Amino acid sequence: MDIKVVATNPKAYHDYSIEDKYEAGIVLTGSEIKSVRAGRVNLRDGFVLIKDGEAWLMNTHIAPYKQAGRQGHDPRRPRKLLLHRYQINRLMGRVQEKGYTIVPLRMYLKGKWAKVEIALAKGKKLYDKRRAIAEREAERKIRRALREMY
């Protein structure tokens, strides 16, 4: 099955250490799926909230579809995620622990369906972020030195 990545969330990898990943379906209206197919999605500030035994994608921006006219949609409305009951229960149990949250990593089209890859994540401390930046810089210097040698 072909996968077309529509949006990614690189900020999630910088701010959180990712532990588990899940694929979730997403309930969209007609104008929303048209915007998703056009790639007009921003996951940067998004997060997942579990309320009344259901998972909801919050604060994710899907731009209004211009041709929809008056029947458009609210760009930041909560959108229901489709997960199995055992997955929701597992996520709910882990989120209640200190420091855990659920963040969207990427949105993609799998065949004709829109999917969201969500992850159970733990917030990084400032010193962890600094260490990651230092490691990335060191690796970049090594690659540059190797390239100059050959």
Output b/e per residue, 91-103; b: 16+ Cβ within 10 A: beeeeeeeebbbb
Dist CA 135 CA 29 (whole Å): 43
What range defines the domain where residue 90 resides?
3-124
Q: Residue length, the chain?
A: 150
Residue 52 lies in a domain: yes
CATH classification of the domain holding 14: 2.40.280.10
**Where residue 69 falls among pLDDT bands split at 50, 70, 90?**
low
What is the pTM for the complete model shown?
A: 0.79
Residue 144 lies in a domain: no
Over the stretch 33-47, which tens digit does the pLDDT of each residue have?
888 998 889 999 899
| Contacts of residue 1, Cβ cutoff 8 Å, sequence gap at least 6 | 110, 111
Per DSSP, the residues of 111-149 read TTEEEEEEEEEEEPPHHHHHHHHHHHHHHHHHHHHHHHH
| Contacts of residue 128, Cβ cutoff 8 Å, sequence gap at least 6 | 17
| Contacts of residue 35, Cβ cutoff 8 Å, sequence gap at least 6 | 41, 62, 63, 64, 65
Residue 130 lies in a domain: no
Over the stretch 101-146, which tens digit does the pLDDT of each residue have?
999 999 999 988 999 999 999 887 777 778 888 888 999 989 988 8
**In total, how many domains does the chain have?**
1
Over the stretch 76-98, which tens digit does the pLDDT of each residue have?
889 999 999 999 999 999 988 88
Average pLDDT, the chain: 88
